[in-house]
Structure 1
Amino acid sequence: MKKSLIALAVLGLSSAAMAQSSVTLYGVADAGVGQIKSDGVGSNDASTKTEFLGASTMNNGTSRLGVRGVEDLGGGLQVGFNFETGLDLDNGAQASSGGTMWGRQANMWLGGNWGTVKLGRQFTPSYLVESTYDLTGAANYSALANTYNYGTNQNVGSRAPSAFAYVSPTFYGFKVAAAYVTKHDLNGDSDAYDLGALYNQGPIAIGASVNKVEDHKTAYQVGGKYNFGMFAVAGSYSQTTDGDLRRRGFSLGASANWGAFTLTGDVTRDSKNELTGKKYTNGVVEAKYALSKRTFVYGAYLRFDGDNNWGLGVRHNF
């Protein structure tokens, strides 16, 4: 009897300990067909011929597999991690940002009601800001992201390696984020910082960020979106840099949805372009139809720096 009671007590304690931590496997599968002529932010697995798209600029997103976990330490304190790798459904090859196995995410964090400190490869604050008002949801074929690189230096983009970051808790829709990368951890032996602030509550989403790599001009962005219900409008002004070279301009866009169907158009226009020496008007038209809460089909046309690109595909989140 005593042994049974002890066994039950141990089992109860074990269950309580297990309940305080969890690990989740998640991912995205995205594939389609299209034609790519531009070399944008997304990785290209297609040529100027019409062919399979598995991890390209004209996919809505890059297929991925990730694992994340969290443990409750008590007293409102938690610790967690996130590892994520990219996949090319064309041939099953690894397709992560930066060309490394866990190049999409490789970090751990410690958080509480005071905010979260995150260490490792992770999204930049500039990406977090841009994704709040980008009408395509920062899709691979986003005209805004491809033209102005999420308002960051050309050597940075949506993710930063070896970053020390802090993200505040959300207070009435408002939060701030800051990240720093030491000079020995970034290409070119230069340190970098990234600061962002955003408000996202109700129909309004606005944000601004500043990204600075040592010995380069400062990159920045400011933008916002207003959702009327069936319709949404957005606009921004951004600058990306590479050394002393700058590319900056504005974007304007609108989106409309009728039940499961959404139609989006977004246009960017350079006011200065020292990266290519020519000012461009870029744009994207996207149509999506939701088959469920986790699956949708899409079609997109991207005009980028004088080239025409298109894609048709299906995306499933799990």
Structure 2
Amino acid sequence: MKWLVRCLAAAGLMSAAGVASAQSTVTLYGIVDGSILYTSHTMNMATGQNAGHQFSFTDSGMSGSNFGMRGAEDLGGGMRAVFALESGISIANGQFSNSNGNFFGRQAWVGMESPYGTVKAGLQYSPFFLSLYQTDPRGMSYFGSGLVSYVNNVYVTGLFNSNAITYTSPEIAGIQAMGMFAMGGAAGNFQAGRQYSASLRYHIAGFTLTGALYSGNAGGSATSTPVPSTVEFVGRTIGASYRFPNSLTISASYALYKVAQSFDNSVYSGGLSYMITPYLDVDAGVWYTRDGNDGSNHSLLASTGVQFYLSKRTTLYGQFGYVNNHGRMDTGLSINNALFEVSGSTVGASIGIRHLF
């Protein structure tokens, strides 16, 4: 009898260990980023006029402060169940920020990975935005980068997509495709809030070539998000980058933001980044924006930055930017505190610290 009890107990422990090994792994992660921002001019949002220079503490000088959870469960046969929940925060005041304004307003999706590709359902990034990100010379910094131009044009539409289903193919011979369809969620009106996007990427050695499109309608259930995420626009982009063996990367891209009943902005960009040492990285970029409906509306944004890595997780950084607006163009320098700027020339700088966890 004692022998039988011991065998049953051992079998129970082995079974429990097997169940435990099949449970999901969950990781808590995030970014905390704060900086001091200076700009020589500041737009008064009520009048559109210059309100003078500013010197302020700014949340997310380089990367959006956020925290989140991601997890995965190995289902066998090369298949995994995956999920992510990510919330944007402001370390300036503790409120929601750097998102669509909701609690998990950056990412909230569940999906399945397999040798045949990955399917995700929920709030997530569009293939259009991810394609732009891959060839931005400053890694979509919150100061002086293609991200400022993106949000200045269409806010977070196409960046944080509600009700979205995406499929990402495996990479075959260096080619990878991604598609997204987001349902508007409005009863009786299938077109309201409907969004779709697709991208194609070719990658070989240090060379990357990307292209993507986006089309989104106004309306739908996503209109309830505090930050506008259903601006009606058509987007197109093509870009390329090359990473040399000496850690120098050069990139160039073209993006079109055609907003319904408004502007038709083309953005041409180029730049480079160079890892001087394992602890020191510098980058620079230029973005020229022109309104296809009125050539007198155009802007030039140029910026550079340096990052000093105190560790793998903690970075000190400094950034400097210049923007010149003509006509009705209002390109800014920073996502937070300087998204829009007045006509003429404005210079700005940002110094800060970022920590990853």
Q: Secondary structure at the match of 1:293?
A: coil
Distance in 2, Cα, partners of 1:256 & 1:208: 24
Q: 1:278 aligns with which of 284, 297, 304?
A: 297
1:35 deviates by 2.7
| Counterpart residue number, 1:52 | 57
2:171 matches 1:170 = yes
Residue type of the partner of 1:120?
A: G
Distance in 2, Cα, partners of 1:263 & 1:155: 27
Aligned positions of 1:176-191 closer than 5 A: 176-184=177-185, 189-191=192-194
| Counterpart residue number, 1:44 | none
Contact residue 288 and residue 299 of structure 1 kept, 8 A: yes
Relative to structure 1, the CA distance from residue 115 to residue 275 in structure 2 (aligned partners, 3 Å threshold; closer, same or farther) is farther
1:131 deviates by 1.7
Q: Secondary structure at the match of 1:98?
A: coil
2:255 matches 1:238 = yes
Q: Secondary structure at the match of 2:15?
A: helix
| Counterpart residue number, 1:299 | 318
Q: 2:281 aligns with which of 262, 267, 285?
A: 262
Relative to structure 1, the CA distance from residue 302 to residue 226 in structure 2 (aligned partners, 3 Å threshold; closer, same or farther) is same
Distance in 2, Cα, partners of 1:96 & 1:225: 27
Distance in 1, Cα, partners of 2:69 & 2:42: 32
Contact residue 71 and residue 83 of structure 2 kept, 8 A: yes
Contact residue 65 and residue 98 of structure 2 kept, 8 A: no
Q: Secondary structure at the match of 1:13?
A: helix
Structure 1 unaligned runs (5+)? Answer: 40-46
| Counterpart residue number, 1:108 | 110
1:183 deviates by 3.1
State the superposition RMSD in angstroms.
Answer: 2.6
Q: Sequence identity, in percent?
A: 23
Segment drifting more, 112-121 vs 293-302: 293-302
Contact residue 154 and residue 241 of structure 1 kept, 8 A: no
Q: Secondary structure at the match of 1:183?
A: coil
Q: 2:348 aligns with which of 287, 292, 309?
A: 309
Q: Secondary structure at the match of 2:11?
A: helix
Distance in 2, Cα, partners of 1:274 & 1:289: 42
Normalised to the residue count of structure 1, the TM-score between the two structures is: 0.87
Normalised to the residue count of structure 2, the TM-score between the two structures is: 0.78
Distance in 1, Cα, partners of 2:168 & 2:157: 19
1:9 deviates by 2.1
Deviations 1:62-100 (A, max 9, x none): 111110111122222221210011121112222241110
Residue type of the partner of 2:59?
A: G
Structure 2 unaligned runs (5+)? Answer: 44-51, 219-231, 324-330, 332-344
Distance in 1, Cα, partners of 2:127 & 2:242: 21
| Counterpart residue number, 2:337 | none
Larger radius of gyration: 2
Contact residue 143 and residue 302 of structure 1 kept, 8 A: no
Contact residue 153 and residue 211 of structure 1 kept, 8 A: no
Relative to structure 1, the CA distance from residue 96 to residue 8 in structure 2 (aligned partners, 3 Å threshold; closer, same or farther) is farther
Q: Secondary structure at the match of 1:158?
A: coil
Contact residue 158 and residue 214 of structure 2 kept, 8 A: no
